[in-house]
A = this chain, B = another copy of it.
């Protein structure tokens, strides 16, 4: 179970990191293990598609069982397949870094964070910072 209190901690720490680094305005989504939204914040100035991208990075990570950086790298090798996955998932799988799995102490996936607003690498930095600040392990590629 990913409690709302923990999801809120993750988002607030991710956004604190973004402000400390002076990144562009971000949208941050936290999903439970079933791919359902637990909490979300969109900073002033972030564009109107940012929720969907952030959500899709997180959902896609849960869908495949690895962080969206891994999905991004696979898209370089097999663009058609990853493009089809976007359709299969109804637009919920976005191949760009910034989707990061949340692991508890037992190494179980309890959810995922998705961030969009700056370049993917910066989005990911904030996702990892948020997850670790809440006491969990962050997985940007594969679990093993």
Contacts and interface: CB of A to CB of B under 8 A. Distances in A.
Q: Give the copy number.
A: 4
Most B CB within 10 A of own CB, among A4, A51, A88, A96 = A88
Contacts of A91: 84, 87-90
Question: In this complex, which of A63, A80, A86 has the most chain B Cβ atoms within 10 angstroms of its Cβ?
Answer: A80
Interface residues of A, number: 54
- What 9 pairs between A and B have smallest CB-CB spacing? A34-B34, A49-B63, A47-B65, A88-B91, A40-B40, A86-B87, A84-B86, A79-B80, A87-B91
Interface of A: 1, 3-4, 7-8, 32-53, 56, 60, 62-65, 72, 75-76, 79-96
